[in-house]
Copies of this chain bind each other. A is one copy, B any other.
């Protein structure tokens, strides 16, 4: 276990803090107006926080789910659960957490890692309190590994650019969406640190405004120059040559490279191609889902239409307005210039690389 904390969760990752018994989450629904925290003591409270987007971003909700299962393992051992009850209790919690949001694969990736690990320990007759303690450690490892992965993504992504560039991004893929540092925003941070960034165009990202509420907040805090735009302004920015590349995150990437990401991503990919602009996806390997042949098989979460008929809590449409609210869309692999992971930049055709890198789950926790 000695090599797992190359990157401790840093100041930038205090939005997810765990100590046995409590998972403390920055409530992202209240940013930027308020810095408020949720203290979750049960897996159900974590599932509620995920479902209501108090914690969001594919890697971040995977980390939160891992901590939630560790919390629950302690509850079960505190109740002197039998081995059978411990096993079924963890499974029930994992299923509940996975169901809290259907599209991001990181939830099931993290939950299944903890379940597999607990099973392996049980097979070695490890005691339940020892297993619960080592699930704490595994969850912390998943968290630390994600930060490390983001820093690698940042370096690999930044390496794609030689000259100074202006980047368009969508939604929030920064500290808040990950263990820390960020995926697409990690690349933007690395570009900035290396003096290769002229500025960032930030899509506000309707309906829940993760761009204006969260990405603008992170960039402003870090002193990185940005311009907030309404989502429908991206095309005219491209038309006048203001964008050198589009970089976005991902919630699930199928074996062929088709990518589910925040609604609006697909439109940006089409616009980028029409303007000859590279379209880059940034995600850790935990977002790859080699079990799905293509994006057609990815379930798209449909959220409450009230998120569309209102804006920042203010009604914006007439009473009774009908609205649609898919949370994600699918960008076909053919539109994606490259997928930046912690193992390097994958290039089309993606299938062989995605199968290779997703076949190496980093099961590094030892008993």
Contacts and interface: CB of A to CB of B under 8 A. Distances in A.
Summarize A's interface: helix, strand, loop or mixed. mixed
A315 B312 CA distance: 8
Contacts of A232: 203, 205-206, 231-232, 263-264, 267
Interface of A: 32-33, 203-207, 209, 212-213, 216-217, 220, 225-237, 239, 263-264, 266-267, 270-271, 273-274, 305, 308-326, 329-330
Contacts of A310: 312
Nearest to A232: B264
19 contacts: A204-B317, A209-B311, A209-B316, A209-B317, A213-B316, A216-B317, A217-B318, A225-B322, A227-B322, A228-B317, A228-B323, A230-B308, A231-B231, A232-B264, A233-B324, A270-B270, A273-B274, A311-B311, A312-B314
Contacts of A322: 225-228
Contacts of A227: 322-324
A271 to B, nearest CB: 6
B270 A228 contact: no
B323 A235 contact: no
Given A236-B330, A312-B312, 20 more contacts: A204-B206, A204-B308, A206-B230, A213-B316, A220-B318, A220-B321, A228-B321, A229-B323, A231-B231, A232-B264, A235-B264, A235-B266, A236-B267, A239-B266, A239-B329, A270-B271, A274-B274, A310-B312, A311-B311, A314-B314
A206 B320 CA distance: 20
Contacts of A225: 322
A356 to B, nearest CB: 29
